[in-house]
Structure 1
Amino acid sequence: MAQLTPMMTQYLQIHEEVPDALLFFRLGDFYEMFFDDALTASRELEIALTGRDCGLEERAPMCGVPHHAAQNYITRLVEKGYKVAICEQVEDPKEAKGIVRREIIRVISPGTISEGKLLESKKNNYLMALFLENNSLGIASLDVSTGDFYVTQIEARSRDQWLSQLSDEIGRLLPAEVILNGALFKDGQALTLIENRFGILASLYPEKYFSVKNGSQRITEQFQVFALGALDLERRDHAIAAAGALLLYLDETQKRALTHIKTIRYYNSRDYMVLDLSTRRNLELTQTLRTLEKKGSLLGVLDKTVTAMGGRTLRRWVEAPLLNRDAILKRQGGVAAFFNHAADLPSFKTIMTRVYDLERLCGKLAFGTVNPRDLLALKQSLGALPLIGDFVVQLDAEPLTALFDPDELLTDIWEQIEQAIDDQAPLVLKDGHVIKTGFHPEIDAFREAAEKGQDWICDLECQERERTGIKNLKVKYNRVFGYFIEVTKSNFDQVPEDYIRKQTLANAERYFTPELKEMESRILGAQEGLLRCETQVFQEIRDGLLKEIPRIQQKAREVAELDAIYALAAVALQNRFVCPEIREDSTILIKNGRHPVVEDMIGTNHFIGNDCLLNQDDQRMLIITGPNMAGKSTFIRQVAIITLMAQIGSFVPADAARIGVVDRIFTRVGASDDLASGQSTFMVEMTEVANILKNASARSLVILDEIGRGTSTFDGISIAWAVVEYLHNPDSVGAKTLFATHYHELTELETLKPGIKNFSIRLKDTPDGVIFLRKIIPGPADQSYGIEVAKLAGFPAGVTRRAQEILGHLESGEDTYRQELLVAEPTVLYGDSGNQLNFFDVAQTMTDAEAEALETIREMQIEKMSPLEVMIVIDQLRKKL
């Protein structure tokens, strides 16, 4: 350090405050990076790497970005998972004695973004803090851009238990960044879960910040309460430690009071339906399995919200269905109110299009990044509140009037902005004309002086053209030379003697006069005064609005819920959904149910609906057999999705439905290798099934699709059989279960276990192959039709004929001949044409019995025989042979 230059010493000392971040170090009009930061940034941003003398023998690697374009570069780095620390000059270089004083004003990371393109408008961006101690886990999650703050704690009996519940919570909230205490950071499996399975930036945070004492103090300061009991946090030490650490982390990184964080909500996982990661993925609730896009998911179908706030609210509902029947009915009542006034929905949608993202506008107010256009957006949004209030009153529906208070419409805030901010205000404050004329006398005086000065300049240009006779003479301005008179080269002989040369160009000369110089001082002085005064008044207005954030946030929550309820009603009307009956009993009864996503893709009236009955008596478990592609997986998924939709308060795709509230939905559908944790397909499958067996209850709904396929046939059947028995037994689980399988041996359980029923997919045999009718009927399937599916998939004809030949012998039970068949040269040629050897060209090699059988086949009049008669003849021939 002693050898380094003073500026480079300052850089390294400041960098020690944020060793895990890239430091954007302000030098004049650029943010510069040095040493390792420069190497990283130049690689990731694809910008030139140079060097700078630093006092050492070798120059320090250096790269930089212009300060006015820094936001784009910062966004790119954060998107790649980096933290960026912004270091600004905090004193005027002209007044500095020695090195200009610099400080970090903010650290930007994936979890602390407050604006920009990385924020999805209809998705929360959570920063999460985790505190683990003695198998008890505190979880705090905050969206810095909106102020949404949630905390909980998990009291677990074992490491596996808290790890499983942590996975469920991370899967639900999907935070952008996680900070951990030492116990969690050292737990390799937890760190692997967060970083590898979810791809989330995880950082160790010092243990002292997770102190319950420090956390309690910081929480009471933030929310201005005397005791934690007012926030429902009393004696919740692990939640307090996590929440306190999260707030302290924001203090260190954001360097400002985040006044929009006004509420903190404690929740219990028992308050909503817990959905593990496998279930969320298999049911494709918010994104598809293959493309990871919203389109094609359940949320993609349901999200007809107009506002960003409503979109985030609906997403939270889908991710956390309700368990309380009264709460479900309350939300359902709001959907019904909109549904029953279908003709009024277009006008409501029109009103809602005027509402901007009030929650994130409050965040920008708190961060001090709000611009004039943002205040105009806030004004327009508040201006829509009376219209929303009138609409709610007009519907006169108790669920809606209870949600939206028509007496608190924030008209005083609207008037404050209306009086102060010009309707044509620019995006950037320095562009001027932000404050309305007549609002502030000093601004009006400066504006008049500046405008009169501009008029004087225009008049001067006209006068000088007449006086000199130079028709193309122009009075111009730039930031370096101020105001000047420009004359082209061809008119130099007409330049008056009182012009004073200012600058020579290739084809022109620039001049000034004492009179122009004097007016320049007046104009620039007025413009500088106007900008200074407008900036000050704008900041005063912004500071005044900071006090109104709680009122704006409350109204934003009301509008968001209204919007989410409207969306559920709109999709119900569009897709012919019905209002389900919500019951406390254990019965799920669905009449002509449909899969909402598949129906949305193939079009209304093309989906074939199916009934489903599940209860705790004679039909607790359905074993569903039938070929692939026939619709088994779609059917069992749609039952789960209809149940989930009912518990978020939505109408459902069916002719009628009665849903007994379930505590959890479990799914085991398909599997793939988990390379990150070194697990094979079969191991992933067994892990997911084990989770179901450990956590399912009699109130749960379990969806199983083909378990046991990843091992030998007998092992697979044995595992599947044992799982069925365990789930069926009321003493162990007794859950309502839908089990799709190709193991036909399991269909025997219907006769052995009361409450198990066999169902299958109806098929139709035709001369051209099998047609899947997509209808669920009682009874097991008679075969798997795997070869028929292979034909539909486009297998070469020769391959399917060979498969049919092998299948016939395998099913015959002739073990000796089976082995000979499998090693012998096949009678089918596997060429592109798929041709088969002519059966009648090999007669000379046949035995007498075979020749007799061939002659019988030649003489058979199959077109006049029934299928049973054909089977009898074939059986006789087989016995002779």
Structure 2
Amino acid sequence: MAQLTPMMMQYLQIHEEVPDALLFFRLGDFYEMFFDDALTASRELEIALTGRDCGLEERAPMCGVPHHAAQNYITRLVEKGYKVAICEQVEDPKDAKGIVRREIIRIISPGTISDGKLLESKKNNYLMALYLEKNALGMASLDVSTGDFFVTQIEAKTREQWIAQLSDELGRLLPAEVILNSAMFKDEQALGLVENRFGILASLYPEKYFNVKNGSKRITEQFNVFALGALDLEHREYAIAAAGALLQYLDETQKRVLTHIKTVRYYNSNDFMVLDLSTRRNLELTQTLRTLDKKGSLLGVLDKTVTAMGGRTLRRWVEAPLLNRARILERQGCVEAFFTNAAHLPNFKNIMTRVYDLERLCGKLSFGTINPKDLLALKQSLSTLPLIKDFVELLDSDKLRHLFDTDDLLTDIWEYIEKSIDDEAPMVIKDGHVIKTGFHHEIDTFREAAEKGQDWIRELECQERERTGIKNLKVKYNRIFGYFIEVTKSNIAQVPEDYIRKQTLANAERYFTPELKEMENKILGAQEGLLRCETQVFQEIRDELLKEIPRVQQKAREVAELDAIYSLASVAITNHYVCPQITEDKIVQIHNGRHPVVEDMVGNQHFIGNDCTINDDDQRMLIITGPNMAGKSTFIRQVAIITLLAQIGSFVPADSASIGVVDRIFTRVGASDDLASGQSTFMVEMTEVANILKNATNRSLVILDEIGRGTSTFDGISIAWAVVEYLHNEDSIGAKTLFATHYHELTELETLKPGIKNFSIRLKDTPDGVIFLRKIIPGPADQSYGIEVAKLAGFPVAVTRRAQEILGHLESGEDTYRQELLVKEPPVLVGGKGNQLNFFDVAKSMTPEEEAALGIIRDLKIDEMSPIEVMNVIDQLRKKI
């Protein structure tokens, strides 16, 4: 260190404060990085790597980015999972004695982004703190861009329980960054869950910050309360430890008091329906299984919100359905008020298009990054509140009036911005004309002086052209030379004697006069004074508005909920949904129900609806058999989704529905390896089933699709049979269950266990093959039709013929099948074809439309397609022919 230059010593000393971050070190108009940071940044940002003398024998690796373009580079680094510390000059170089003093003003990480392109407009960006003590877990989650702050704690009996609940919460909130106490950081399974399963940036945070006493003090300071009881945090030590550490982390990284964090909400699993990670994934609630896109998910169908904050609210509703019947009915009543006034909804949408993201505007106000354009956006948003009030009163709904406070429309805030900020204010303060004329006397004085000076300059130019006879004489200005008179070389002979030469150019000479110099000082003084004064007054306006953040946030929540309700109503109107009855009975009864996502893809006119009744008596469990591609999975999923929709207060895709509130929805659907944890497909399946058997109750809805397939047939049947019995048994669980299976042996349970009923998919045999009618009917399927599906998938005819032959022997129970069938060679095919008519041989007699359809079938990569994608193709082919 002794050999280093003073500037490089300062750099390394500051970097010691943030060893896990890349340090953007301000030097003039650039942010510079040195040593390892430079190597990393030059590689990740693809910028030139140079060197700088640092006092050592070798030059220090160096790279840099322009100050004015730094945000784009910072965003790219944070997107790649890096933390970036911003180090600024905090004193004027003119006043510095020695090296200029510098300090870190902010640390930006994936969980502390307040604005920028990394923030999804309709999704929260959470920073999470986790505190582990034995089998108790404290959890705090905060979106610093909006101020949404949630805490909870898990007191489990076993390690397995808190790991499972942690997985559920991580899957629901999907935080961008997590800070951990030492016990949590040392737990390999928990750390692996955070970093590998969910790909979240995780950091060890010092244990001293998870202290309950210090956490309590920090929480009461932040929310200005005397005791934690006012925040429903009394005697919740684990949640307090996590919340206190999270606030302390923000203090250290953001270097400011974040005044927009005004409320903290404690929640527990009794507040809403807990949906485990498997259920969220299998029902494709917010993203699809294959592409992880919102489009094609349930949220993709439901989200017609106009505002970003409305979109975030709707997402939270979908991820956390309600359990309290009164709250469900209250929200449903709001949706119904919109639904029954469909003619007025376009007007509401038009109003909402003028509303900006009020929650994140409050965040920018708190961070001190709000600009004049943002304040104009705030003003415009507030101007819609009287219009929203008129709309609510037009709908004449007590539930909507309870939701939207029509008394406080923030008119005073609107008026304050209206009289202070110029309607044409620029984005950057230094561009001027930010403060409206008439708001501040000193600004008006400076502005008048500057404008009069410009008028004087224009008059001077006209006078000098007339006096000298030089028609192209110009009075100009630049930052280096100030104001000057410019004359081209061809007119130099006409220059008066009182002109004083200032600069010589290739084609012109520049001059000034004592009079021009005097006016220059006045004009520049006025402009500098104007900028200084506008900057100061803008800061004062911002400080005044900071006091009003709680009111704006409250109104933002109300508007966001109205927008989410509008979205649910719009979808219900467009897609012909109905208002379900919500009961406390253990009954789910759906008439002509439909899968909302599949219906959205294939169209309402092509989707075949189905009835479903599950009760606590004679139909507590439905065993559904039938071939693949027939619609079993779609049917059982749609029952789960309709139930979920009902419990978020939405209308549902059916002709009618009566939904008894369920405490949880469990699903076990599909098959996939968990390579990260070294688990096979079968192990994943068994783990998910075990979770259901341990946590389901008699008020749960369980969806099972093909369990037991990952092992031998007899093992699979045995496991499936035992699971059915355990779920059915009222002494163990007694849950409402839909069980789709290919094990026809399970259909015998209908005669053995009261409450189990067999259902199947109706099919139609035709000379050209099997047609799936998509209709659920009582009774088991008479056969599996697996070979028919193989034909549809494009198996070579030789393989399907051979399979049919083998099946016939197996079903006949012949003892000689080993010798006569398995040893016997397959039949020799002439020219690679069997004697029966090949489907593709009839192409010669087809219409052009049928030939085109056949071409599409030939090119299908059916093994890479999902059932929904296959259904889409079939629907398109049907239209073609």
Matching of residue 293 in structure 1 with residue 293 in structure 2: yes
Most deviating of 540-549 and 454-463: 454-463
Cα deviation, residue 825, structure 1: 2.9
CA distance in 2, matches of 1:327, 1:460: 74
CA distance in 2, matches of 1:371, 1:300: 33
Conserved 8 A contact 1:304-1:570:
yes
Matching of residue 664 in structure 1 with residue 664 in structure 2: yes
For residue 337 of structure 1, what is the aligned residue in structure 2?
A: 337
For residue 633 of structure 2, what is the aligned residue in structure 1?
A: 633
After superposition, the Cα gap between the structure-2 partners of 1:830 and 1:295, relative to the gap in structure 1 and judged at 3 Å, is: farther
Residues 590-626 of structure 1: per-residue CA shift (max 9 Å, x gap): 0000001111111122111000011111111111111
Conserved 8 A contact 1:827-1:836:
no
> 1:66-77, aligned counterparts within 5 Å?
66-77=66-77
For residue 373 of structure 1, what is the aligned residue in structure 2?
A: 373
Most deviating of 514-523 and 627-636: 514-523
Secondary structure in structure 1 of the residue aligned to 2:43: helix
Amino acid paired to 1:562: L
CA distance in 1, matches of 2:105, 2:833: 73
Most deviating of 417-426 and 457-466: 457-466
For residue 116 of structure 2, what is the aligned residue in structure 1?
A: 116
Most deviating of 737-746 and 810-819: 810-819
For residue 103 of structure 2, what is the aligned residue in structure 1?
A: 103
Residues 470-508 of structure 1: per-residue CA shift (max 9 Å, x gap): 333332222222222333344444444433333333333
Cα deviation, residue 567, structure 1: 1.2
For residue 843 of structure 1, what is the aligned residue in structure 2?
A: none
Cα deviation, residue 251, structure 1: 0.4
Amino acid paired to 2:679: Q
For residue 718 of structure 1, what is the aligned residue in structure 2?
A: 718
Secondary structure in structure 2 of the residue aligned to 1:106: strand
CA distance in 1, matches of 2:92, 2:187: 48
Secondary structure in structure 2 of the residue aligned to 1:270: coil
> 1:200-279, aligned counterparts within 5 Å?
200-279=200-279
Conserved 8 A contact 1:673-1:680:
yes
Amino acid paired to 1:140: A
Cα deviation, residue 814, structure 1: 3.0
Conserved 8 A contact 2:81-2:110:
yes
Secondary structure in structure 1 of the residue aligned to 2:679: coil
Cα deviation, residue 822, structure 1: 3.3
For residue 872 of structure 1, what is the aligned residue in structure 2?
A: none
Secondary structure in structure 1 of the residue aligned to 2:384: helix
CA distance in 2, matches of 1:498, 1:652: 87
Secondary structure in structure 2 of the residue aligned to 1:738: strand
Conserved 8 A contact 1:798-1:830:
no
Matching of residue 169 in structure 1 with residue 177 in structure 2: no
Conserved 8 A contact 1:809-1:818:
no
Larger radius of gyration: 1
Conserved 8 A contact 1:763-1:771:
yes
For residue 90 of structure 1, what is the aligned residue in structure 2?
A: 90
CA distance in 2, matches of 1:225, 1:25: 39
Secondary structure in structure 1 of the residue aligned to 2:403: coil
Conserved 8 A contact 1:614-1:621:
yes
Residues 324-349 of structure 1: per-residue CA shift (max 9 Å, x gap): 00110011111111111111111111
Conserved 8 A contact 1:351-1:387:
yes
CA distance in 2, matches of 1:99, 1:399: 64
Most deviating of 457-466 and 109-118: 457-466
Most deviating of 451-460 and 507-516: 507-516
CA distance in 2, matches of 1:457, 1:695: 82
After superposition, the Cα gap between the structure-2 partners of 1:485 and 1:688, relative to the gap in structure 1 and judged at 3 Å, is: same
Structure 1: 5+ residue stretches without partners: 840-881
For residue 386 of structure 2, what is the aligned residue in structure 1?
A: 386
Matching of residue 741 in structure 1 with residue 741 in structure 2: yes
For residue 355 of structure 1, what is the aligned residue in structure 2?
A: 355
Amino acid paired to 1:502: K
Secondary structure in structure 2 of the residue aligned to 1:142: strand
Conserved 8 A contact 2:111-2:127:
yes
> 1:323-722, aligned counterparts within 5 Å?
323-722=323-722
CA distance in 2, matches of 1:526, 1:765: 91
For residue 54 of structure 1, what is the aligned residue in structure 2?
A: 54
Structure 2: 5+ residue stretches without partners: 839-881
Conserved 8 A contact 1:624-1:739:
yes
CA distance in 2, matches of 1:519, 1:82: 52
After superposition, the Cα gap between the structure-2 partners of 1:477 and 1:720, relative to the gap in structure 1 and judged at 3 Å, is: same
Residues 88-115 of structure 1: per-residue CA shift (max 9 Å, x gap): 0000011101111000000011111111
For residue 320 of structure 2, what is the aligned residue in structure 1?
A: 320
> 1:812-823, aligned counterparts within 5 Å?
812-823=812-823
For residue 128 of structure 1, what is the aligned residue in structure 2?
A: 128
> 1:124-203, aligned counterparts within 5 Å?
124-203=124-203
CA distance in 2, matches of 1:472, 1:320: 73
CA distance in 2, matches of 1:161, 1:327: 29
Amino acid paired to 2:561: E
For residue 790 of structure 1, what is the aligned residue in structure 2?
A: 790
CA distance in 1, matches of 2:371, 2:18: 29
Cα deviation, residue 823, structure 1: 4.2
After superposition, the Cα gap between the structure-2 partners of 1:805 and 1:492, relative to the gap in structure 1 and judged at 3 Å, is: farther
Conserved 8 A contact 2:84-2:108:
yes
> Where in structure 1 do 4 or more consecutive aligned residues deviate above 4 Å?
835-839
CA distance in 2, matches of 1:401, 1:655: 29
Secondary structure in structure 2 of the residue aligned to 1:269: coil
Conserved 8 A contact 1:23-1:33:
yes
CA distance in 1, matches of 2:119, 2:472: 51
For residue 877 of structure 1, what is the aligned residue in structure 2?
A: none
Secondary structure in structure 2 of the residue aligned to 1:286: coil
Residues 228-262 of structure 1: per-residue CA shift (max 9 Å, x gap): 11111110000100000000000000000100111
Amino acid paired to 2:689: V
Amino acid paired to 1:319: E
Cα deviation, residue 818, structure 1: 3.7
Amino acid paired to 2:297: S
Cα deviation, residue 271, structure 1: 1.0
Cα deviation, residue 688, structure 1: 0.8
Secondary structure in structure 2 of the residue aligned to 1:650: coil
CA distance in 2, matches of 1:229, 1:534: 44
Secondary structure in structure 2 of the residue aligned to 1:323: coil
CA distance in 2, matches of 1:535, 1:819: 95
- Indicate the percent of aligned positions where both proteins have the same amino acid: 87
Most deviating of 722-731 and 640-649: 722-731
Secondary structure in structure 2 of the residue aligned to 1:402: helix
Amino acid paired to 2:662: V
After superposition, the Cα gap between the structure-2 partners of 1:586 and 1:427, relative to the gap in structure 1 and judged at 3 Å, is: same
Secondary structure in structure 1 of the residue aligned to 2:270: helix
Cα deviation, residue 731, structure 1: 1.1
CA distance in 1, matches of 2:797, 2:94: 85
Most deviating of 183-192 and 601-610: 601-610
Conserved 8 A contact 1:829-1:837:
no
Cα deviation, residue 281, structure 1: 0.6
RMSD: 1.5
After superposition, the Cα gap between the structure-2 partners of 1:473 and 1:589, relative to the gap in structure 1 and judged at 3 Å, is: same
Conserved 8 A contact 1:799-1:830:
no
Conserved 8 A contact 1:798-1:828:
no
Amino acid paired to 2:39: L
Cα deviation, residue 575, structure 1: 0.7
After superposition, the Cα gap between the structure-2 partners of 1:786 and 1:254, relative to the gap in structure 1 and judged at 3 Å, is: same
CA distance in 1, matches of 2:835, 2:53: 81
Cα deviation, residue 798, structure 1: 2.9
Conserved 8 A contact 1:145-1:364:
yes
Amino acid paired to 1:324: N
After superposition, the Cα gap between the structure-2 partners of 1:838 and 1:772, relative to the gap in structure 1 and judged at 3 Å, is: closer
How many residues are paired up? 838
Cα deviation, residue 584, structure 1: 0.5
CA distance in 1, matches of 2:344, 2:530: 48
Amino acid paired to 1:727: L
Conserved 8 A contact 1:130-1:179:
yes
> 1:834-849, aligned counterparts within 5 Å?
834-836=833-835
Cα deviation, residue 803, structure 1: 2.5
CA distance in 1, matches of 2:194, 2:547: 38
Amino acid paired to 1:42: S
Conserved 8 A contact 2:810-2:817:
no
Amino acid paired to 1:122: K
Most deviating of 580-589 and 805-814: 805-814
Amino acid paired to 1:791: K
Residues 417-464 of structure 1: per-residue CA shift (max 9 Å, x gap): 111111111111111111111111111111111111112222222333
